[in-house]
């Protein structure tokens, strides 16, 4: 998975300079917390197809020489529009039977970032997070205020009923039953599933990361997880990009995405080791679980997780689409 830079000699009016064009790389996830027994063949097929489409759309941006940010938003919007993932259309329900969506994005080249939390009517929260980053002086906007801002940006708003799906509704009913039986901790542990994210390296050698989620089934009291929080669920700098998925409280407590990137860029820990340490040691040690996708400026990447599976996929420097769900794929 190690990546090479191609040297290109550019000559303008007889003056030549060497430029290093990076072979683009895109890595995505559609959430950890895959439960093996729930993965019937039809669901697996649909999930794999959606991951492949997201990779195709995102990678087309990179191949066309567009910035990593464009690949991240293109891939994530595909997954937000697909009901199989806990983001956009397929967002889970909170305790009150409502959908509250969170998202964030970060540009590794400039360290600009944007996030939105607790929005109810935004069809593609990742596009609003990007608008916060690019067209406001702020980094994080919440709820109704974020939706007011969305109107000024021409971001598509939908009736909250758009997010209603039978499957997610049933998951909430199951969680409520567990709550009533005093098994809240079990319900909480099973409640994170299908958050989406992407990390990309463009031809200019710049990285970006983004994450979008409906949060956790049965969440209460305006709970906000890690996904819209820069440093917890999403982080990118010049040498590292991360999007996480899992039990958000633990990603917040370990500042997981930032911690991985600091290990890579400041401590010069090998990328795979850094990712393994935070996701598979630090978070489980506290009682959490989940996974992440991590990409370095040299194109090396890692997809650690400690759940039954993690929906994921990548287009490496070979330009081929790979999708996977279970360990070892």
Residues, the chain, total?
329
Nearer to ligand ASP, 70 or 102 (CB): 102
Q: Tell me which of 195, 213, 217, 307 is the catalytic residue.
A: 195
Dihedral (C-alpha) 142, 148, 149, 150: value to the nearest 10 degrees?
Answer: 100
Residue 31 lies near ligand ASP (rule: CB under 6 A): yes
Asked if 234 and 209 touch (Cβ cutoff 8 Å), the reply is yes
Nearer to ligand ASP, 192 or 206 (CB): 192
Return the SS3 of 122.
strand
Scanning 48-56, 103-111, 187-195, 268-276 for contacts with ligand ASP by CB under 6 A, the matching segment is: 187-195
Nearest-CB residue for ligand ASP: 248
Contact with ligand ASP (CB under 6 A) among 3, 84, 192, 203: 192
Nearer to ligand ASP, 77 or 213 (CB): 213
- Where does residue 166 rank: exposed (0-12), middle (13-18), buried (19+ CB within 10 A)? exposed
Burial 179-202 (b: 16+ CB within 10 A, else e): beeeeeeebbebbbbbbbbbbbbb
Strand partners of residue 105: 114, 210
Query: Is residue 43 among the annotated active site residues?
Result: no
Contact with ligand ASP (CB under 6 A) among 86, 217, 254, 306: 86
Scanning 45-53, 245-253, 265-273, 318-326 for contacts with ligand ASP by CB under 6 A, the matching segment is: 245-253
Residue 215 lies near ligand ASP (rule: CB under 6 A): yes
Q: Which of 94, 105, 165 is nearest to 129 (CA)?
A: 105
Residue 171 lies near ligand ASP (rule: CB under 6 A): no
Residue 228 lies near ligand ASP (rule: CB under 6 A): no
Residue 93 lies near ligand ASP (rule: CB under 6 A): no
Scanning 127-135, 223-231, 292-300, 320-328 for contacts with ligand ASP by CB under 6 A, the matching segment is: 223-231
The separation between the first and the last C-alpha atoms of the chain, rounded to the nearest angstrom, is 14
CA separation for the pair 53, 85 (Å, rounded): 14
CA separation for the pair 329, 327 (Å, rounded): 6
Closest approach of ligand ASP to the CB of residue 3, in Å: 27
Nearer to ligand ASP, 205 or 246 (CB): 246
Nearer to ligand ASP, 1 or 78 (CB): 78
Nearer to ligand ASP, 236 or 297 (CB): 236
Q: Under rule CB under 6 A, how many of the chain's residues touch ligand ASP?
A: 17
In the shown chain, the binding pattern of residues 32 to 51 toward ligand ASP, with x for contact by CB under 6 A and - for none, equals: -x------------------
Burial 146-160 (b: 16+ CB within 10 A, else e): bbebbeeeebeeeee
Strand partners of residue 117: 142
Residue 94 lies near ligand ASP (rule: CB under 6 A): no
Closest approach of ligand ASP to the CB of residue 169, in Å: 17
Give Rg (Cα) of the chain: 19
DSSP 121: S
Neighbour tally for 10: CB within 10 Å: 10
| Binding footprint of ligand ASP on the chain (CB under 6 A) | 31, 33, 86, 192-195, 213, 215-216, 225-227, 233, 245-246, 248
């Amino acid at each position: 998975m190690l990546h090479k830079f191609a040297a290109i000699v550019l000559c303008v009016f007889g003056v030549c300079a060497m430029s290093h064009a990076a072979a683009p790389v895109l890595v995505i996830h559609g959430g950890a917390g895959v439960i093996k027994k729930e993965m019937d063949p039809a669901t697996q097929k649909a999930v794999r197809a959606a991951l492949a489409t997201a990779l195709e759309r995102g990678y087309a941006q990179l191949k066309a020489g567009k910035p990593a940010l464009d690949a991240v938003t293109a891939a994530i919007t595909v997954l937000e529009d697909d009901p199989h993932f806990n983001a956009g259309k397929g967002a889970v329900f909170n305790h009150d039977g409502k959908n509250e969506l969170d998202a964030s994005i970060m540009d590794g080249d400039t360290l600009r970032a944007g996030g939105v939390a607790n929005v109810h009517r935004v069809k593609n929260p990742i596009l609003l997070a990007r608008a916060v980053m690019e067209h406001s002086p702020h980094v994080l906007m919440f709820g109704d205020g974020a939706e007011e801002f969305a109107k000024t940006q021409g971001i598509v708003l939908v009736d909250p009923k758009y997010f209603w799906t039978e499957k997610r509704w049933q998951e909430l009913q199951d969680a409520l039953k567990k709550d009533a039986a005093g098994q809240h901790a079990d319900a909480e542990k099973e409640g994170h599933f299908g958050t989406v994210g992407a990390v990309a390296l463009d031809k200019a050698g710049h990285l970006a990361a983004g994450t979008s989620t409906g949060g956790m089934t049965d969440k209460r009291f305006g709970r906000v997880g890690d996904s819209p929080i820069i440093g917890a669920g999403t982080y990118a700098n010049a040498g590292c990009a991360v999007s996480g998925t899992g039990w958000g409280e633990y990603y917040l407590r370990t500042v997981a995405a930032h911690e991985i990137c600091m290990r890579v860029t400041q401590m010069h820990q090998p990328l795979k080791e850094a990712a393994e340490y935070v996701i598979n040691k630090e978070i489980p040690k506290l009682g959490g679980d989940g996974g992440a996708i991590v990409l370095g400026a040299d194109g090396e990447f890692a997809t650690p997780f400690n759940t039954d599976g993690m929906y994921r996929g990548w287009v490496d420097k070979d330009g081929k689409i790979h999708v996977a769900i279970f360990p070892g794929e």
